[in-house]
Amino acid sequence: MSDDTLFAEVLDGANRANPYPIYERLRRRPVSRQRDGAYVVSTHAAIRSLLFDPRLSSEDLPPSRRPRTGNPFKDWIINPLKNRVATAHRPLIFRDPPDHDTLRGFVMKEFTIARVNNLHGRVEALVDTLIERCRGRDEVCLVEDLSYPLPVAVICELLGVPEADEPQFHAWATQLATALEPDARRDEEARRATVTTFDAIAAYMRRLIRDKRRHPADDMLSGLARRGDRGEPAMGDVDLISTAVLLLVAGHETTVNLITNGMLTLLRHPQELARLKADPERAPRLIEELLRYEPPVHFRTRKALGAIEIGGTTIPPGAPVVLLFASGNRDPERFSDPDRFDPSRDDIQHFGFGGGLHYCVGAPLARIEAEIALVTLCRRLVEPRLMADPPSYRAGASLRGPSNLGIHIAGIV
């Protein structure tokens, strides 16, 4: 197999359970050009330097295009306008400075330390309730029993989205998350589906934000929506909607992988599971190692704004650039014995939450959720055993994690 098709192999679902040998082959060069013109960056040093390089843009999505309806008024007037607005007001994950920084600033003002840390007790209660529901069974389906419902309940509470509406936007969130997957981005039909989904969820958010303005509560959406009323600088309504959608989707599609990958890794390393059970104080370091060893997001795509010379390669202007975080995390030039899961290692400078100015906003929350979930699972599940290894995986190559993790248990304490 030649090197310029290695990334296609990464995207191939057949390699989802173990993409790491492909990453190892990619790392023979820090940057490898693929046949489709994309440049894959796979070593820790090259990823690190590009994360801080202003010549890489996150505004890499093609312009949004709504499907034809047959109604000329819509097709020639309304939808082209909507397309322009939607393209100009992408969520901050797809924006560059200075707009990105302004939007992120608004989010950070509401993502306060107190608001995040106050969720601690709530997360503990949720985890206990979700585990309690498995009582009497000899099998836990971790994704549907805990890894998915926990972050969803937490993000709904934080944003102030009624959890009762969740079934409505469950499928929307899954569809919108494909904006991070190269295959879905290239596929015309998938992109149309994403646009249609965005319109549906945006309409939902618009109504919700209107309610929040009338009846503000102590949640992030109320805070973001009310800023303008108090005479402070505020986001425009379109940015407010796309930000709300981004936070909701991010809360749905990422932490689920961290928790499931975490339990999978612990079940594959029973001695570490036993150690964590005996000493929950090991959790913070174990979670950082987990973010290195099995990160929830494997790569992000950017676009080169100018020619970038790196690692003996020149990336031409306009080329898509894939920052393969999960490969940098396993780079033997940076980490000794990188393929070993070793929570006692101290030098864990991972890309589990990305890096640079797009560093994951939700990182502190993800850490809290993962720590409480894993510590409680280890304490309460009696004799947990994996039912299938490897488990089945969700479709995503970037947002990568099991679709189901069956765990055999002898009971719950």
Partner 1 sequence: MRVVVDLNRCQGYAQCCYAAPESFALRGHEILFYDPAPPDEARARIERARLACPVRAIFVEAADLHAADVQESDPSKVDLPKVDRP
Residues that bind partner 1 (CB under 8 A): 44-45, 48-49, 52, 113-114, 116-117, 281, 284-285, 288, 334, 346-349, 353, 355, 359, 363-364, 367
**Secondary structure of 347-402 in HEC code, one letter for each residue:** CCCCCECECHHHCCCCHHHHHHHHHHHHHHHHHHEECCEECCCCCCECCCCCECCE
Nearer to partner 1, 1 or 113 (CB): 113
Shorter beta-carbon distance to partner 1: residue 44 or 298: 44
Q: Which is nearer to partner 1, 177 or 378 (CB)?
A: 378
**168/349 with CB nearer partner 1:** 349
Q: Among residues 33 and 350, whose Cβ is nearest to partner 1?
A: 350
CA distance 401 to 255: 10
CB atoms within 10 A of CB 78: 13
Within 10 Å of residue 4's Cβ, how many Cβ atoms? 15
Q: Give the nearest distance from C-beta 367 to partner 1 in angstroms.
A: 7
Question: CA 167 to CA 164: how far, in whole Å?
Answer: 7
> Which residues have CB under 8 Å from 3's CB, separation 6+?
25, 26, 28, 29, 32
Nearest approach, Cβ of 309 to partner 1 (angstroms)? 13
Least gap, CB of 188 to partner 1 (angstroms): 37
The nearer residue to partner 1, 241 or 373, going by C-beta atoms, is: 373
Residue 349 C-beta: closest distance to partner 1, Å: 5
Query: Minimal distance in Å, beta carbon 210 to partner 1?
Result: 31
Phi and psi at 149, nearest 5°, equal -60, -30
Integer Cα distance of 24 and 44 in angstroms:
12
Query: Shortest Cβ distance from residue 113 to partner 1 (Å)?
Result: 5
* Residues recorded for the chain: 413
